[in-house]
Amino acid sequence: MNLSISQRAGVIVIGLLVLASFIILVLKNIYPGGQWEGLLQRLKSWWIMASIFFIALVSNRIVSIIFFGFISFWAFKEYITILDTRRADHRALFWAFLTIPIQYFWIAIHWYGMFIIFIPVYMFLFLPIRQVLAKETTGFLSSTSKIQWGLMAFVFGLSHMAYLLNMPNAAASQSNGQSLLLFLVILTELNDIFQFIWGKTLGHKKIVPTVSPNKTWAGFIGGVLTTVLVSIFFKFLTPFDMKATLIISFVIAVSGFCGDVVMSAVKRDAGVKDFSDLIPGHGGMLDRMDSLCYTAPLFFHIVRYFYY
């Protein structure tokens, strides 16, 4: 039976998740204790997320773009919910949320030029003017900055996943935008799991204890190296040669860690443990998409520059 490139990736991911679940259950029986519960919850959440992603990707392109638009909407909503906003911010927030369908409309019609400047240029200039019209200067800079940053991270950053779907078939390769998106998401999330495993088993020395006490040097280095090695099994999803696969997977692993700790800092500043309780046992949508806010734009622009 001939499987498509996406179906082969799905089989590998499911196999890895089954293997990881089995190993953790065995370790939990050998070394009883609560240290494995966090990882089991994390794996359960990735079973859910993997299923959702694959359902979205087997749909047609417009349905998939709408799906990623909803992810941006929900992530931005979770972020805004934890902020201490002013009454004067409500009109600006209306326009900020309206930005989401407009941004994804540019993706749907393949208008790359507007996709790449709409939020960083036009909304960057427009939203402060809308804030000025509210005639409230107290807290102006703080509120405007928070809304702008949220749009850049959770709408502009995550929307790069959707624009990957517009990439044509790569020359001399079976890869396309869909397979590139799978490569990005799979490695980003495996990196999250690998860093957690290495950190729990060998981690002692903290990297940024005041921001994310669970992040250790062993977890970071072990996660990055394991992600780079595992990327070889997913090379068939891309037009990359072996050297490029290793370099790009290294970028994904390091930037995924950076996205994770940045979002941890945001939550600590807001005084919350999770962005929401959408996913039972492991926070909200944004708690699972935080690394992709960093990996998606970096991966997209590397691929577009060197391969398209």
- Two structure tokens written together for 107: 């993706």
Q: Lowest-confidence range among 70-79, 182-191, 253-262? A: 182-191
With beta carbons less than 8 A apart as the criterion, state whether 275 and 79 touch.
yes
Q: Which residues contact 195 (CB under 8 A, 6 or more apart)?
A: 215, 219, 220, 222, 223, 224, 257
- Predicted local confidence at residue 60, as pLDDT: 79
User: ∠90-274-14 over CA atoms, to 5°?
Assistant: 120
Distances (CA, A) of 297 to 65, 92, 115, 162: 16, 25, 12, 11
Residue 171 confidence (pLDDT) above 60: yes
Q: Which residues contact 48 (CB under 8 A, 6 or more apart)?
A: 279
Q: Let me know how long the chain is.
A: 308
Domain that holds residue 136: 5-307
Identity of the highest mean pLDDT range in 33-42, 146-155, 190-199:
146-155
How does residue 274 score in pLDDT terms, banded at 50, 70 and 90? confident
CA-closest candidate to residue 180, choices 244, 97, 99, 104: 244
CA-closest candidate to residue 287, choices 142, 195, 189: 189
Q: Specify the higher pLDDT residue, 170 or 100.
A: 100
| Greatest C-alpha distance within the chain | 66
How does residue 194 score in pLDDT terms, banded at 50, 70 and 90? confident
How far apart CA 154 and CA 287 sit, in angstroms, is: 12
CA-closest candidate to residue 77, choices 158, 163, 173: 158
Q: Lowest-confidence range among 36-40, 88-92, 143-147, 259-263? A: 36-40
- Predicted local confidence at residue 213, as pLDDT: 83
pTM for this entry: 0.89
Share of the chain above pLDDT 90, in %: 50
Write the DSSP string, 255-305.
Answer: HHHHHHHHHHHHHHHHT-SSS-SSSTTS--HHHHHTTHHHHHHHHHHHHHH
Q: Which residues contact 294 (CB under 8 A, 6 or more apart)?
A: 157, 255, 256, 258, 259, 262
Residue 3 confidence (pLDDT) above 80: no
Average pLDDT (9-38) is 71
- Two structure tokens written together for 33: 């204790």
With beta carbons less than 8 A apart as the criterion, state whether 99 and 155 touch.
yes
State the total domains in the chain: 1
pLDDT tens per residue, range 45-73: 667 667 767 766 667 788 889 989 999 99
How does residue 10 score in pLDDT terms, banded at 50, 70 and 90? low
- Two structure tokens written together for 284: 């909200």
